[in-house]
Structure 1
Amino acid sequence: MQTADDITPVGKPPPELLPLPASAPGEPSAWGSRHAHDPTVVRDDDGTYFMFSTDSVANSEDIPAGVLIRTSTDLVAWQYAGTAFDGVPGPAAEWSGARGLWAPDVVRWPDGNWHMYYSASTFGSNTSAIGLAVAPAPAGPWEDRGIVVATRAGEHIQNAIDAAVARDADGAPWLTYGSFFAGIYTLPLDRTSGEPLVTGDLGSLIARRHPSVDGAVEGAFVLYRAEEDRYVLFTSYDSLFSSYNVRVAVADEITGPYRDFCGRSLTDLDSPPSLAGTKVLGSYQFDGGTGWLAPGHNSVLTQEGPDGAPEHYVVHHVRFAGDPSQHVAQLRRLFFNAAGWPVISPQSFAGRGTEVLPAPEPVAGLWCVLRFDPESTDLVPAVPLGLERPVDGSSDSGQAGVEQSDGSPARVRLRLAGLPAGPEAAVELDAVVFGSWDWARGQAALSFSGVDQHGVAWSGTKGDLS
């Protein structure tokens, strides 16, 4: 475990966490994690991190289309490193008419090479293609292998964009993809080539939304949890421009059915479309901090932590509430509560060591708290609420008597205090308490994230609003 001596000074937020006067792309060397839409992050053998993202600000003489690449050594400071291709590969361009590439997913293949699955399309059309490229290292060179999944308007209901690869319990690869139109699909891939196991297979449906909300679901990512032998599906609901929010559901098989906390299937169109899927991240603002709008299209980075156990980060893009035309990539710590539901840090990751508290903190006390109402896409302001332990002090992690936290992740049962009287007043959370970096105050702080008995996600950071 790290100590206070390991803390890296952060001071003021880096420039990419503050809105710019104008939304022009500017010089790539100054981007940092700005203009990284639909991001995914991998780690090379030498420890260098690579972020791949949609090239929505490209298509100029100096910044060609072809997937934007950034590198980092700490998951905080990012440096632009060019594009994976010099434009849209020929087969994908010919099929889709795309001028740029969207939502790349990059994964290590068993033979040691890296596979990139990229999307080629035009906005509002399902004449789309998912292509495959292969490289010996994340830095490239990337060799295009052509189209692996394709859809055409008027012929197919699916939309071949937003690819993400997951491995099932047996290690077999699956390609999950889809968007508006017909929802999210998954299909098996060949273990060697990475192409569909059955040529032309468009897969089976695992998530969709009602036509009354334009079928607004996309940006899917599947994570297999060996600890519970089940699959977690992350999706983004609503509009990428203003109201994105991240939902989750779980299944015993990679093909589903995926059900949320309340047991609703993500393929069921009978439930209200705002309720299906457990909402774990949406628009929010802490007092004195930046307002973050429409977080979504997440992937998950999994790596070995300092203690040898796996640690997870949600990688996503988000917009500035003051200027939604600007967006930036963020990473957040991802934990799993006692029941195995994913919970996400309310603070973006600030670097190894910054989350170490200078001294143990009591869990009980006043917190700045967010409630992610599944029926609302509004920006959520943090409110002051008390947290306390339930009377019986029960905990699924053997921490029943612990009232202090040094910032190490701990699964706990929490009760919210100070809620208005009513049926929602007695809110208890299956939560994780952990160290974080409080960007509004510029200091290490205790944070929590959890799910209440109604399936609503709450999170917050300890301290008052002054």
Structure 2
Amino acid sequence: MITPSSLVLALLQAAAAYGYANPGSCSGACNIHDPALIRRDDGTYFRFSTGNLISFATSSSIEGPWTPRGSVLPADGSRIPNSGSKDPWAPDVHKVGNLYHVYYSVSAFGTQDSSIGLASSRTMEPGTWTDNGAIGVTSRNGKQYNAIDANLLVDGHNKYMTFGSFWQDIFQVTLTPDAKRATSAAVNVAFDPAGTHAVEGPYLFKYNNLYYLFYSWGSCCHYDTQRPAPGQEYKIKVCRSNSPRGNFVDANGVPCTQGGGTVVLESHDNVYGPGGQGVYDDPTHGPVLYYHYVDTNIGYADGQKLFGWNTLDFSSGWPRV
């Protein structure tokens, strides 16, 4: 007997058998890590990324040409007191009211000495950013979570922040109406009990009244010196729910808190280790999955990672590129 769930799974398996589409074209400044994408009301695309105190570039199209515009944070770094890196990671950008918010992570690689901060601007132009400092989501050794890789979902009047990396993986808090401070305790929404709990970089996206939790699974970095075993490199997975607050399951019905997760995009052809993703509902292309990856024809170093994007098809109820 064919059930709705088995039909969906068969469609996903059939789609995977045909392979993945190549990334969309990119020109100009395309070497980035952890992209975050938004389109300003005048049609200008802004793309933020890790490095250079949260660097950003602009373009008239998602395809480019991308032009570097500078840094979000000042030369002396974030206001957040932290013993880790002074060069923040993993930006996330959204418009809240009349302000553009860029959330960032201050941490040291592989540690829980981490905080999530916020910078804001009315225009996103160089020199207009205000660093608001920490938003009240921090972690130290002994916490269940690592307070990095923040992502905001604005759902009507409600603001949800999903975040996390390894340890017990992905958590969520609610935020104040202005999305500047956390207002609730952190709740676990995704956990892979196997291995090193290699889950991070969540992105919560609402589509057709369902909530899709995208995340990166596997080893993200240092591929030029520490290549992971085949299949253990970065890939993008997803679970979904009727609620933004949890009970996310994959296409097989396995809870995301019990190791569930349906693969959306993984290594193929010369594309290796796609991840650090977000989703943007583009006025031209519709829902777009964007991410970084390495082109094996070029090299595996972190500094060689490229901006990639693909349109998403939700026709089966589950996103596929």
Aligned equivalent of 1:256: 246
* SS of structure 1 residue aligned to 2:197: coil
Question: Which of 186, 207, 215 is residue 190 of structure 2 equivalent to?
Answer: 207
Matches within 5 A, 1:420-431: none
Which amino acid in 2 is paired with 1:204? V
Aligned equivalent of 1:103: 90
Residue 29 (structure 2) pairs with residue 42 (structure 1): no
CA distance in 1, matches of 2:308, 2:246: 29
CA distance in 2, matches of 1:209, 1:180: 9
Give per-residue Cα distances to partners, 1:417-440, cap 9 Å, x unaligned.
xxxxxxxxxxxxxxxxxxxxxxxx
Residue 48 (structure 2) pairs with residue 68 (structure 1): no
Deviation at 1:74, TM superposition (A): 1.4
Residue 167 (structure 2) pairs with residue 181 (structure 1): yes
Residue 147 (structure 2) pairs with residue 160 (structure 1): yes
Give per-residue Cα distances to partners, 1:6-45, cap 9 Å, x unaligned.
xxxxxxx9896xxxxxxxxxxxxxx6211x1110111112
Deviation at 1:330, TM superposition (A): 1.2
CA distance in 2, matches of 1:171, 1:244: 34
* SS of structure 2 residue aligned to 1:312: strand
* SS of structure 2 residue aligned to 1:336: coil
Structure 2: gaps (5+ residues): 1-23, 224-232
Superposition RMSD on alpha carbons, in Å?
A: 1.9
Matches within 5 A, 1:57-456: 65-76=52-63, 77-87=65-75, 89-92=77-80, 94-110=81-97, 112-140=98-126, 141-168=128-155, 170-198=156-184, 201=185, 203-210=186-193, 212-225=194-207, 227=208, 229-241=209-221, 242=223, 243-268=233-258, 276-285=260-269, 291-305=270-284, 311-322=286-297, 323-325=299-301, 326-337=304-315, 339-344=316-321
Give per-residue Cα distances to partners, 1:399-428, cap 9 Å, x unaligned.
xxxxxxxxxxxxxxxxxxxxxxxxxxxxxx
When residues 206 and 14 of structure 1 are mapped into structure 2, their CA distance, relative to the original with a 3 A threshold, is closer
CA distance in 2, matches of 1:81, 1:171: 32
When residues 149 and 180 of structure 1 are mapped into structure 2, their CA distance, relative to the original with a 3 A threshold, is farther
The answer as to whether partners of 1:88 and 1:101 remain within 8 angstroms in 2 is: no
Moved more, 240-249 or 147-156: 147-156
Structure 1: gaps (5+ residues): 1-12, 17-30, 56-64, 286-290, 345-466
The answer as to whether partners of 1:149 and 1:160 remain within 8 angstroms in 2 is: no
Which amino acid in 2 is paired with 1:118? Y
Which amino acid in 1 is paired with 2:54? V
CA distance in 2, matches of 1:148, 1:174: 13
TM-score, L = length of structure 2: 0.83
When residues 340 and 171 of structure 1 are mapped into structure 2, their CA distance, relative to the original with a 3 A threshold, is farther
Give per-residue Cα distances to partners, 1:26-78, cap 9 Å, x unaligned.
xxxxx6211x11101111122110100000xxxxxxxxx31011111111121
CA distance in 1, matches of 2:123, 2:174: 24
Which amino acid in 2 is paired with 1:39? P
- The higher relative CO (CA closer than 8 Å, separation ≥ 6) is in 2
Which amino acid in 2 is paired with 1:333? T
Deviation at 1:244, TM superposition (A): 0.5
CA distance in 1, matches of 2:26, 2:95: 32
TM-score, L = length of structure 1: 0.58
Deviation at 1:252, TM superposition (A): 1.0
* SS of structure 1 residue aligned to 2:79: helix
Which amino acid in 2 is paired with 1:97? G
Larger Rg: 1
CA distance in 1, matches of 2:261, 2:179: 33
CA distance in 1, matches of 2:162, 2:210: 16
CA distance in 2, matches of 1:88, 1:263: 47
The answer as to whether partners of 1:89 and 1:144 remain within 8 angstroms in 2 is: no
Deviation at 1:91, TM superposition (A): 3.2
CA distance in 2, matches of 1:188, 1:152: 17
Which amino acid in 2 is paired with 1:125? T
* SS of structure 1 residue aligned to 2:300: strand
Aligned equivalent of 1:59: none
Deviation at 1:260, TM superposition (A): 0.2
Deviation at 1:152, TM superposition (A): 3.6
When residues 256 and 134 of structure 1 are mapped into structure 2, their CA distance, relative to the original with a 3 A threshold, is same
CA distance in 2, matches of 1:51, 1:213: 33
